[in-house]
Structures are given as C-alpha cells and as structure tokens.
C-alpha cells in the first residue's frame, strides 16, 4: 500500500478531530478483518470454511477467533441470604448485591419487552452478536471512542456474568479483564455469546440478563429493582415502570430515578418510543405511559440488611452470624464463610422460637426499658433441655453502635461467649452453687447431711487435687452477719447460706467442683481457665448467661449436656441442603447425682414460691444469685421443656445495683429474688403457654431426717454418708419450710444473696 493511498484511507476514517497513526490503521484493518471473519463464522454456524472474504487478513482473523475459548465459568449470581426463625419467619437478610433471582414467568411481560426493545431489538433473530454494530464500535474505539453500545443482550449477559464470577471468587484481575475497554474483550464476549446461544434458549438468556443486570447502586436484577423503586413484586410492573427500569441499565448511576428523575424520565421516554417502534406497545399505551411523571411513580423502599433489621432478635441473629463464621461447614476460612453468607442465597433456618423470643424481649424491656436512666442491662436467654436448641435470646438494647440518641446500642451479645459476639460473661453469685451441689452428690453425700457453722478457714482446710486451684485463709459470712449455724444441705440451698456451702466444699476436692462446672460448661466465655479458689464456689467467676441456662438444662436432662444449637438447616438457592451441626449431647453427670441436684433445686424453687416470687404454676428448678455491690443479679431456672437465665448488671465495668432506680422502681439492694426473679416468672409463664405441665422424672429421695454433723477439716478421717437409696417413686412430701431465722439472705467476702 502506498503512502498516499494509506493517507487517503486514514483521512476517510477520521472525522477531522485528530489524525490516526499508521500503526493504529494497520491494527484497525486486522480487527476489521477479524470482524469480517466473525460475520462469516456466525453465518456458517461456527464452521470455518475457506471464505476468502478478505484475503490473508481474513484468514488470520478467522484463525485467531476460532482459537478463542468458547466456554466460560458462570457461577450463579449473588443472592440475598435470609435468616429465619424456626417457623420460617424472616429475621434478617444479608447481601453484597441486593438481588432476588426469579424465573421469567414471575417477571412482568413489560420488563421483558422493554429490555429487548431498548437493548437488543433483534434479540430473537440473531445468533448472539450484532456484527454491524460491533464493527461500528471497533472503528469508534480506534478513533478514540469506546466499544460500548453495540452489545447484544447475550453479550451483556456474558459480561455481567464474568464480572459476577470474578467478584464471587475475589479475583480482581478477572474482573478487570471483564470490564476493560478493548477490542479483545469485545471479541471474547462475541465468541462466548455465539457458543452460549447454541446451548441456552433465548428466554433463558433473557431471564439470566434480567436477573444479573445492574439497576442502580447495589441494586441488581429486575425483581430487586421493582421492590426498591416501586415497593412491589416484579410481576406487577406496569408499562411505564418497566420502561423506567429497562432504561436504567445503560447508566445505573446517571439514570437512577431517585437521584436524577429528569434524566431518568427522558431515558424512560426513549425506551417507550422504542417499544412503540418495535410494536411492543400501541400508541395509546405509549401516550399514557409517557404522560406519567417519574417522581409520582416512585414509591422507594430499601431492603435493610444485617442483624439490625432483625428487631428484638437482632442479637440472636448476631450469634447466628458468628456461628457461621466459626464453623468450617460454611467454608475453609472466615473470608469464604462471609462470602457464602453475603452472596450464596442461603436460607438459614434457626432454632429460635419466635413466640418465646417476643415474650423474652417484652419481659426484658418491661423490667428495664431500652436506655433506662439506670444504665442497667438485662439478658433473658432460653435453651431446650435435651437438644441444646436456643429458643430465645433477648436484651434491653438496640443493635448497632451507640449514639447520643441511643447510648445503650451495642452489637455485643450479652448472653454469648466471646466466639459468638459476647465475652467472658458475668459473676454468677449463688446461682453457681449447684456446681458444688452436684459435686456433693457425686461424692455420695446426702441432702440431709448437716454442714456449715464455720466462718473461718485456713489454707489447710481445703483439698486440692490435680488441677489449677489454690487456697489460703478465707473468712466467709452470711448476709448481715446472720448466724452461721450448721444446716442440712437442703436447707442451706433453699436459704443460699454461704457457710453451708463453704462447709460442703471443705469436705470435697476443689478440683471436683471445678470439674463439674467444666463438664456442664458453667465456665468463662473467653476460653480462659482461671485458678479455682474457695470463693469461686459462691460464684465469683464469670459465666455467660447462655452457659448458665445450659448448665441447668443439663441437670434436668439427667446429666446429659447438649451443645448449644442455633441453626437447624441451611439450603442454597439451588435447593441443596448444606451440612450443618446436628444435636450433639454427651454425659456430663451420672444420672443419680443429676437427679439429686434437680430434686434439691426443685425444692428450692418451691421455697421461692412460698415466699411469693418466681412461681410459674408448674414444676421447675431455680436458683438465684447476687454478687458483691451488688454488681450482678441472677436467676437461673428450668422445667423439663425450657431452661432460662435472667441476668441483670452493667455491660461495661462494675456499677452497684444498690440505692438505685431501675425501670422506674427504687431498689435499696437489687437481689436476684427481686427484678430478675419477676422477669423470669413473667417470661416463663408466657413461654410455657400451650406446653403441657410435667414434672421431673426422678426417684424420690424422701423426706429424710437431719444427719449428725460431721467435722469438716480434711485432717479428720471422713466417711461419706450412705448415698440416697433409689426406691420406687412415692408421694412427694411438702418442701421443707425456710428457716425462721430473721434473715434468709446471705453474704460472704465476695458474694451476697437474696431473700
């Protein structure tokens, strides 16, 4: 080719805005030759005969095109994941892209017609590419423009799918390649589109496009767009609404009707005119739809995502999310598990009982409203004995970051351990005493053994086996320095006497008590294993409320501990069921000691009822607890069907619950027997509605008589009392009455206890 000839051709290809270099010109000729070859290939149905349409350049272009891969990886588009209660009630949605995939038959016919009219009016006639349109785009590209505007719906579907796959795989290079402005990208898309049309019906391609295309900032697919802009299902879109949506995809930011209504209206009218031109609508329909003002059409609504949308179950939702992040069933690492949650279209069915959750939230906030001036916090947590299913998890805070208007808002899950959004837990006070009680029965002792009566212990008074435990001198007292006289174990439990429990512990091995607590998981939630000291028998250590509820569930479940379960089933968008943790139970206590512990705690619960609190009208076990200050107040109790803990305290630091107004009521001292017990009672009554009352299935220990007092120093030889003899069940005797001692509240160096 001569220089003058080349120059004239360059001149013919330029607009006068700028010259085209010889190198660009040659590149353009090769690309155009490839397009000629592409046209021939398309017409020949991907067979490649000797066409001779453009000589050697065409042959080279044909060869290059034919060697391009025709297959590409197409992952299902990202979808919202939904967390549900046990009855299917939606709690929260999670998504990286707001998208709801629906089949074509659930889409309005108008959105289908509008998309085809404005994006690819020959969609149902071509084989995947528009050769002339691509040629114009290629020329424009080499003259300084871009390659956009000539893609068929199939090519757009290919491009969006490649981008989506790159996002899901966290592959920035693949995403950049799918989005680059280049001829090579156009040719790749063309090859993919031609191959795809050979395998996929037109309507399936249209369905895929309408589910994957962007319709605004983080709004993807026509269904999510319909709900976002018009608050309606996509199948109900009108002509005007469909035209508005179809026009957005060319420029999801610039044509966003919420931000740019005038531009969006002009674009909508353009879509309507194209629909009229292609006879998708008639003139009357066109005029009617065009007359609508876009601002009047919009009824926007956002799809909130995350646990903040879960209402009173928000903190349980956070527990579930942490469970997903911690569980390798959902991916090899946290990044992969998060990606699955945000993009996988999962339907996550949880164990939460919505009725119980509503009751727990009401009981909690009725007792201590959100942002109460006292700054006190309350958590109500329930678990099902025998399965470990978490039934309710409520607290008196909103979910999120605290603000001046909402100072108590937090994402901390008060009930949970550190791995599930909580922390170490809170000092348990006397609600921890059943751990010593269970160890007492494991050692073969009787509930009628007389112990206590001492307030002073030296380091040598304690037995310490093979564990991290230590002891030194210890002074222990009951509340208001009430008499430390010896009592039976049953009476000491009913009255929560610290001196009784100090006496019991001195006859046991501290390591055995610590071991019982470990076996029923009444342990710190941060994974620590602190040195166990005598004061720990009275609840100076921290335990999360869920752990305490589950420990009591273990007692009533005849000593079988069940790992907490929050998720019952997970299904993918394709209907595949993922493997999730199942019920996992193991023996923590032998049946006998577990039943004896339950027997004693049931009589303790009965004594509470006789004093006018914590009675729910059916058999139950319960134990209250109050710590120094007091800074924490508890009640933990269970029936055969539901085990519940109620904790009251302060989430950050230690502040006294004394001489304080909480929930509009003054407390000189808040004991576990006051606000926590009332909350537990109010909630448990509602929680058990519709559940038949049933008692505990254990062999009765009998009425018994006080046994002789046994000295409690380890230097003396100890012969344990005969273990209670198992016998046929007999009619239950009335629970022993509380002592007539002036004060049945008790205290010690670190813990106080309630009336």
For the chain, domains (ranges, CATH) are 28-64 (no CATH), 96-297 (1.10.3810.10)
- What 3-state class would DSSP assign to 422? coil
Q: What is the mean pLDDT of the segment spanning 188-196? A: 93
- pLDDT digits over 247-290, tens only? 999 999 999 999 999 999 999 999 999 999 999 999 999 999 99
Which residue from 293, 250, 304, 544 is spatially nearest to 414, judged by alpha carbons?
Answer: 544
Q: Above pLDDT 90, what percent of the chain?
A: 74
Which residue from 120, 58, 83 is spatially nearest to 313, judged by alpha carbons?
Answer: 83
Q: And the tokens for 748?
A: 């010690």
Q: Above pLDDT 70, what percent of the chain?
A: 80
Pair 425, 543: CB distance under 8 Å: yes
Which residue from 609, 754, 618, 629 is spatially nearest to 687, judged by alpha carbons?
Answer: 618
- pLDDT digits over 527-538, tens only? 999 999 999 999
Q: What is the mean pLDDT of the segment spanning 548-566? A: 99
Mean of all residue pLDDT scores within the chain: 87
Gap between the Cα atoms of 40 and 34, Å rounded: 10
Pair 449, 711: CB distance under 8 Å: no
Angle at 540 between CA 632 and CA 515, to 5 degrees: 125
Q: What is the pLDDT of residue 704?
A: 58
Confidence of residue 651 (pLDDT cuts 50, 70, 90): confident
* Contact partners, residue 330, CB within 8 Å, separation at least 6: 324, 336, 337, 340, 341, 570, 578
Confidence of residue 71 (pLDDT cuts 50, 70, 90): confident
Residue with tokens 């351990």: 417
Whether the pLDDT of residue 738 is over 50: the answer is no
Helix residue ranges, H only, 231-310: 239-248, 261-277, 283-290, 294-297
Tell me the DSSP string of 469-510: B----EE---GGG-----EEHHHHHHTT-HHHHHHHHHHSBH
For the beta carbon of residue 706, count every other beta carbon within 10 angstroms. 15
* Contact partners, residue 528, CB within 8 Å, separation at least 6: 424
Residue with tokens 């004995």: 385
Q: What is the mean pLDDT of the segment spanning 639-659? A: 93
- DSSP element (H, E) containing 603: helix 591-610
Gap between the Cα atoms of 520 and 173, Å rounded: 51
How far lies 486's CA from each of 702, 711, 712, in Å?
21, 11, 11
Whether the pLDDT of residue 15 is over 50: the answer is no
Backbone angles phi, psi at 84, to 5 degrees: -120, 155
Confidence of residue 603 (pLDDT cuts 50, 70, 90): very high
Pair 684, 644: CB distance under 8 Å: yes
Whether the pLDDT of residue 17 is over 50: the answer is no
Torsional sign, CA 699, 705, 706, 707? negative
Q: What is the mean pLDDT of the segment spanning 727-738? A: 31
- pLDDT digits over 88-105, tens only? 999 999 999 999 999 999
- The helices-and-strands tally (H runs, E runs) of the chain is 24, 23
Confidence of residue 16 (pLDDT cuts 50, 70, 90): very low
Q: What is the mean pLDDT of the segment spanning 66-89? A: 88
Q: What is the pLDDT of residue 25?
A: 56
Whether the pLDDT of residue 523 is over 70: the answer is yes
Q: What is the pLDDT of residue 46?
A: 42
* Contact partners, residue 121, CB within 8 Å, separation at least 6: 274, 277, 278
Q: What is the b/e burial string over 408-447, where b = at least 16 CB atoms within 10 angstroms of the residue's CB?
A: bbbbbbbbbbbebbbbbbbbbbbbbbbbbbbbbbbbebbb
Gap between the Cα atoms of 28 and 88, Å rounded: 59
Which residue from 84, 92, 581, 638 is spatially nearest to 382, judged by alpha carbons?
Answer: 638
Q: What is the pLDDT of residue 574?
A: 86
Gap between the Cα atoms of 489 and 740, Å rounded: 16
For the beta carbon of residue 177, count every other beta carbon within 10 angstroms. 16
Tell me the DSSP string of 168-198: HTT-HHHHHHHH--SHHHHHHHHHHHHHHHH
Backbone angles phi, psi at 631, to 5 degrees: -105, -20
Whether the pLDDT of residue 106 is over 50: the answer is yes
Q: And the tokens for 368?
A: 């201590």
Confidence of residue 122 (pLDDT cuts 50, 70, 90): very high
Q: What is the pLDDT of residue 649?
A: 98
Whether the pLDDT of residue 726 is over 50: the answer is no
Q: What is the pLDDT of residue 184?
A: 85
Q: How far apart, in Å, do the first and last CA atoms of the chain sit? A: 107
Question: How is the chain split among helix, strand and coil, in percent rounded to 5?
Answer: 45, 15, 45
Poorest-pLDDT segment among 29-43, 477-491, 647-661? 29-43
* Contact partners, residue 493, CB within 8 Å, separation at least 6: 433, 437, 447, 500, 600, 601, 603, 604, 623
Predicted model pTM: 0.85
Q: What is the mean pLDDT of the segment spanning 570-594? A: 95
For the beta carbon of residue 701, count every other beta carbon within 10 angstroms. 21
Torsional sign, CA 681, 683, 689, 691? negative
- pLDDT digits over 676-707, tens only? 999 999 999 999 999 999 999 877 665 555 65
- pLDDT digits over 353-389, tens only? 999 999 999 999 999 999 999 999 999 999 999 999 9
């Amino acid at each position: 080719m001569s220089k003058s000839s080349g120059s004239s051709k360059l001149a013919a290809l330029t607009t006068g805005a700028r010259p085209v270099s010889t190198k660009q010109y040659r590149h353009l000729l090769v690309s155009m030759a490839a397009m000629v070859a592409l046209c021939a290939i398309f017409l020949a149905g991907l067979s490649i005969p000797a066409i001779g349409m453009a000589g050697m350049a065409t042959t080279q272009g044909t060869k290059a095109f034919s060697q391009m891969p025709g297959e590409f990886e197409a992952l299902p588009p990202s979808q919202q994941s939904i967390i549900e209660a046990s009855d299917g009630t939606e709690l929260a949605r999670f998504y990286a892209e707001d998208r709801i995939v629906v089949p074509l038959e659930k889409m309005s016919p108008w959105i289908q017609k509008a998309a085809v009219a404005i994006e690819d009016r020959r969609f149902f006639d071509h084989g995947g590419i528009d050769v002339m349109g691509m040629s114009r785009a290629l020329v424009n590209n080499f003259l300084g423009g871009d390659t956009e505007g000539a893609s068929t719906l199939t090519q757009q579907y290919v491009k969006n799918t490649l981008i989506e796959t790159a996002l899901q795989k966290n592959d920035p290079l693949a995403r950049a390649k799918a989005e680059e402005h280049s001829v090579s990208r156009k040719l790749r898309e063309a090859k993919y589109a031609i191959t795809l049309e050979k395998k996929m019906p037109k309507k399936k391609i249209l369905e895929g496009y309408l589910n994957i295309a962007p319709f605004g900032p983080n709004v993807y697919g026509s269904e999510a767009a319909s709900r976002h802009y018009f608050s309606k299902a996509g199948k109900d879109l009108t002509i005007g609404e469909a035209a508005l949506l179809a026009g957005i995809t060319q420029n999801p930011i610039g044509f966003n009707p919420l931000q740019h209504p005038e531009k969006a209206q002009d674009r909508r009218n353009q879509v309507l005119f194209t629909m009229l031109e292609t006879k998708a609508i008639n003139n009357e329909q066109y005029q009617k739809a065009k007359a609508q003002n876009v601002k009047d059409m919009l009824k926007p609504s956002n799809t909130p995502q995350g646990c903040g949308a879960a209402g009173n179950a928000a903190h349980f939702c956070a527990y579930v999310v942490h469970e997903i992040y911690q569980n390798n069933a959902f991916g090899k690492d946290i990044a992969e598990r998060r990606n699955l949650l945000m993009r996988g279209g999962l339907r996550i069915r949880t164990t939460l009982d919505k009725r119980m959750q509503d009751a727990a939230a009401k009981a909690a906030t009725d007792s201590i409203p959100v942002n109460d001036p006292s700054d006190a916090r309350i958590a109500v947590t329930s678990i099902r004995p025998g399965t470990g299913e978490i039934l309710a998890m409520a607290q008196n805070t909103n979910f999120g970051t605290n603000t001046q208007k909402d100072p108590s808002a937090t994402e901390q899950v008060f009930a949970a351990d550190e791995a599930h959004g909580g922390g170490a837990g809170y000092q348990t006070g006397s609600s921890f005493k059943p751990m010593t009680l269970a160890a007492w029965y494991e050692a073969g002792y009787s509930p009628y053994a007389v112990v206590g009566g001492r307030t002073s212990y030296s380091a040598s008074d304690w037995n310490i086996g093979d564990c991290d435990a230590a002891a030194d001198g210890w002074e222990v007292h009951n509340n208001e320095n009430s008499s430390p006289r010896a009592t039976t174990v049953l009476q000491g439990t009913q009255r929560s006497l610290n001196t009784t429990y100090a006496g019991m512990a001195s006859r046991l091995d501290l390591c055995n008590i610590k071991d019982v607590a470990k076996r029923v998981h009444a342990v710190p939630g941060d994974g620590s294993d602190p040195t166990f000291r005598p004061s720990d028998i009275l609840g100076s250590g921290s335990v999360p409320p869920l752990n305490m509820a589950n420990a009591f569930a273990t007692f009533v479940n005849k000593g079988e501990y069940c790992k907490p379960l929050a998720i019952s089933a997970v299904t993918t968008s394709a209907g595949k069921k993922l493997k999730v943790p199942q019920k996992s139970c193991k023996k923590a206590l032998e049946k006998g000691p577990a039943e004896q512990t339950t027997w004693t705690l049931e009589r303790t619960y009965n004594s509470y009822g006789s004093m006018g609190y914590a009675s729910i009208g059916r058999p139950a076990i319960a134990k209250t607890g109050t710590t120094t200050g007091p800074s924490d107040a508890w009640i933990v109790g269970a029936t055969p069907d539901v085990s519940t803990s109620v904790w009251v305290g302060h989430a950050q630091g230690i502040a006294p619950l004394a001489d304080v107004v909480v929930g509009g009521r003054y407390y000189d001292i808040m004991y576990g027997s006051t606000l926590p017990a009332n909350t537990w009672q109010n909630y448990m009554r509602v929680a058990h509605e519709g559940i038949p009352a049933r008692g505990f299935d254990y062999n009765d220990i009998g009425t018994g008589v006080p046994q002789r007092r046994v000295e409690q120093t380890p230097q003396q030889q100890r012969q344990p009392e005969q273990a209670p003899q198992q016998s046929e069940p007999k009619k239950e005797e009335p629970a022993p009455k509380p002592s007539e001692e002036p004060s049945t509240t008790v205290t010690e160096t670190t813990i106080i206890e309630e009336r």
